Each structure stands twice: as C-alpha cells, then as structure tokens.
Amino acid sequence: MDDDGIIWWPPKRIHTLREETRRDPSPQCCNFEIENEAGSYLIFADFLDWCYAYAICCNDGPNRGKVALVGLNPDRFVAKSFETFVRLAAVGSNRLHSPVGDYFLDLV
C-alpha cells in the first residue's frame, strides 16, 4: 500500500473486471460503457482493501488505455492513460477518488 491508500497488485493477482467482481450490472450502480466491456478491463490496484479499485481498458475500442475507478456508483473514468494514472497517484491527486471523474475534459 502506498502512502495514499492505493494497493498496487502483483501480476499474479491481476484479473479482469468481470472475473474479479462477478457483479450483476444495474442502471443504478454501473457505467454501461465500462460494464459492457468488463472482460477487457484489468484491475491492477485498489483503495484501502477494496473500497474501490482501478482497472485499465485493454481492448482496441475508443476506451483503450483509459483507467476506470470501479466499485463506486457509478463506475467512472479517472485517467486517459496508465501513465497519467501513475503521475496522479505519485502526487496524491484527489482526482483518483473523485465522484466526477468522467467529466474531466482531458479524458476525451
């Protein structure tokens, strides 16, 4: 765990969003853009022992490389790339925990 509560997963623990959560999507709790591709998102870190987690999109679609915060209602994008995510984590940015992650203009 880093100083800001993010737990970086070792390679053997990394799974797809679908494998890790096995959740039942509902309109109240998920972002269907993420949920429809849950098998393409790899969870690589979580916050304070799975309060919520971070997953990177690994498919060839328009969200490739974006990092999503999953496990809050609704799931949302917080970084346009893994590199951006790491930079934000290194400075302890509150953006990685933001309830308005999808609305940052630099995600598009």
Residue 67 pairs with which residues in a beta bridge?
A: 56, 79
Residue range(s) defining the domain that contains residue 74:
6-91
Does residue 24 fall inside a structural domain?
Answer: yes
pLDDT above 70 covers a percentage of the chain that reads 80
Total of domains in the chain: 1
Place of tokens 């969200």: 63
Query: Hey, what amino acid is at 103?
Result: Y
Its pTM stands at: 0.84
And the tokens for 88? 């934000």
pLDDT of residue 108: 46
Q: Is residue 43 part of a domain?
A: yes
Residue 102 forms part of a structural domain = no
- Domain membership of residue 78 (yes or no) is yes
Place 101 in a pLDDT band, splitting at 50, 70 and 90: low
98, part of any domain:
no
Domain assignment present for 100? no
- Residue 44 in any domain: the answer is yes
